Amino acid sequence: MREYTNEEQLDRFADLLEPIVEIFNDPAVSAGINVSPAKAIAAAIKSHKKAVITVLAYAEGCDPGEYKVPDPMTLLFKAVTLMQRPELAVLFPSLAQSEGSASSGPVMESTEDGAV
């Protein structure tokens, strides 16, 4: 894996935010999140293939032009894992648990007590 300078890493971060915002600003993806991660993932893939590939590539530490999409089952597990990251809930409130959920607080609290 190639090492990046600080400036390159910041550029990569900025490049990553664009597809994430594109995906999660889609009403079909937001609606899917409220039903299940799989529905949100399907909506994202169908409408935002290039953005999804970019996010997956950066999650794997490679450039989008070099990324090879894995088989469907591997991709499903990777996508669900990404969707459940608390960092995304901070950036996109629609990913946070609803008020009626069994959780006693926001998504971030579940990781603060050492649970992973």
Residue 48, φ and ψ in degrees, nearest 5: -140, 50
Cα 87 to Cα 84: distance, rounded to the nearest angstrom? 9
Closest CA to 101 of 33, 43, 41: 33
**Mean residue pLDDT across the chain:** 77
- Is the full-model pTM beyond 0.95? no
Residues in the chain: 116
Is residue 1 in a domain? Answer: no
Is residue 79 in a domain? Answer: yes
Q: How many domains does the chain have?
A: 1
Q: Please give the helix or strand (H or E) that residue 2 lies within, else none.
A: none
Percentage of the chain exceeding pLDDT 70: 73
Residue 19: domain span: 6-112
Mind listing the pLDDT tens digit for each residue in 1-54? 678 899 998 998 899 999 989 998 999 988 887 888 778 888 999 999 999 999
Is residue 92 in a domain? Answer: yes
